[in-house]
């Protein structure tokens, strides 16, 4: 079975500082990895994905994530946080070898950027 | 701008009534997901279709929930009979094999 862990329910960062939202995953094969963002009363918006290739993936709104196979992690990062980045962030995984499995999401991390 | 469309956006119903939620996936996408979001459980996968065939509905209470894709432009999720514990936001998402899923705005269901 595939699973995702987001160990922090909430992350607080001052505006202008770098931010990291942590994600670790578990799959039996090789992973597809994704980050999504959700604003209040909205659906999830896709930020970025890792399929293959470079371990550092760049996405929307200045976000990036680093795939680390040995640590089974896919942490989301941004060099300089904006107040508008405050939202709920979800990490998701799919096992490449198991086409019948849907996307499995973590519990989500509330990111709060303080002015 | 292609997007997943869900109707209705909000639904309030009485316990025991049938509820039908509809989803129009993005044209050309061959995978469709139904998720339920609650504060307690987070995002739960209810059903997953590929090329209109159901691949996984293990997350769905079979006695009251059913999911179908009558054609490539419509996915439905039905609850009969509805119960207060079904109150949640239900999301439909579509995508292509191996790629990201694009989410609709959700249906906020309240069962009283």
Dump pLDDT digits (tens) for B26-78: 999 999 999 999 988 899 999 999 999 988 888 888 899 999 999 999 999 99
Average pLDDT, chain B: 93
Q: Which pair of tokens denotes residue B4?
A: 């997943």
Most B CBs within 10 Å, among A30, A33, A43, to test the B interface: A43
- A105 part of contact set with chain B, CB < 8 Å: yes
Q: Does A69 touch chain B (CB under 8 A)?
A: no
- Give the C-alpha distances (Å, rounded to integers) separating B87 from B76, B79, B82, B93, B107: 17, 11, 9, 19, 10
CB A45 to CB B55 under 8 A?
no
Indicate the pLDDT class of residue A98, thresholds 50, 70 and 90.
low
Q: Which two tokens stand for residue A95?
A: 């096992």
CA distance A26 to B104: 27
Closest of B83, B49, B44, B45 to residue B64, by C-alpha: B83
Instruction: Record the tokens describing residue B21, joined without a space.
Output: 């939620």
A49 interfaces chain B, CB cutoff of 8 Å: yes
Cβ atoms of A112 and A64 closer than 8 Å: no
Burial of A28 (0-12, 13-18, 19+ CB in 10 A): exposed
pLDDT at residue A34 tops 80: yes
Nearest-CB residue to A43 (from B42, B48, B105): B105
Burial degree of A40 (CB within 10 A; 0-12, 13-18, 19+): exposed
Mean pLDDT along residues A13-19: 97
Q: Which residues of A touch B99 (CB under 8 A)?
A: 49
Q: B32 at the A interface (CB within 8 A)?
A: no
pLDDT beyond 90 at A102:
no
Task: Give the model's pLDDT for residue B56.
Answer: 80
Q: What share of chain A has pLDDT > 70, as a percent?
A: 96
- Concatenated DSSP letters of A83-108: GGG-EEEEEEEEETT-TT---EE---
Q: How many residues does chain B have?
A: 112
- Which chain A residue's Cα is nearest to B55? A100
Pairwise CA distance, residues B70 & B33, whole Å: 15
**Residue B45 CB neighbours (<10 A):** 20
Q: What percentage of residues in chain B have a pLDDT greater than 90?
A: 81
pLDDT of residue B106 exceeding 70, the answer is yes
CB atoms within 10 A of CB A9: 9
Residue for token digits 């970025």?
A48
Is A90 at the interface with chain B, CB within 8 A? yes
Q: Residue B43 and residue A49: Cβ atoms within 8 Å?
A: no
Contact B98 A32 (CB under 8 A): yes
What are the phi and psi torsion angles at B52 (to 5°)? 75, 0
DSSP-derived secondary structure letter, B85: G
């Amino acid at each position: 079975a595939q699973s995702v862990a987001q160990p922090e329910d909430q992350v607080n960062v001052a505006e202008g500082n770098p931010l990291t939202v942590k994600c670790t995953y578990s799959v039996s094969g090789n992973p597809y990895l994704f980050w999504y963002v959700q604003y209040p009363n909205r659906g999830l918006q896709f930020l970025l994905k890792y399929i293959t290739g470079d371990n550092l993936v760049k996405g929307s709104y200045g976000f990036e994530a680093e795939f680390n196979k040995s640590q089974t992690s896919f942490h989301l990062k941004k060099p300089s946080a904006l107040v508008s980045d405050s939202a709920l962030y979800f990490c998701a995984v799919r096992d490449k070898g198991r086409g019948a499995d849907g996307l499995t999401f973590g519990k989500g991390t509330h990111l709060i950027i303080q002015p | 701008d292609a997007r997943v469309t869900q109707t209705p956006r909000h639904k309030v119903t009485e316990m025991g009534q049938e509820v039908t939620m509809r989803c129009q996936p993005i044209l050309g996408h061959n995978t469709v997901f139904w998720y339920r979001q609650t504060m307690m459980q987070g995002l739960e996968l209810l059903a997953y279709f590929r090329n209109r065939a159901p691949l996984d509905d293990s997350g769905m209470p079979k006695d009251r929930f059913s999911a179908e894709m009558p054609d490539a432009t419509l996915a439905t999720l039905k609850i009969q009979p509805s119960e207060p514990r079904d109150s949640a936001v239900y999301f439909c998402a579509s995508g292509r094999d191996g790629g990201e899923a694009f989410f609709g705005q959700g249906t906020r269901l309240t069962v009283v």
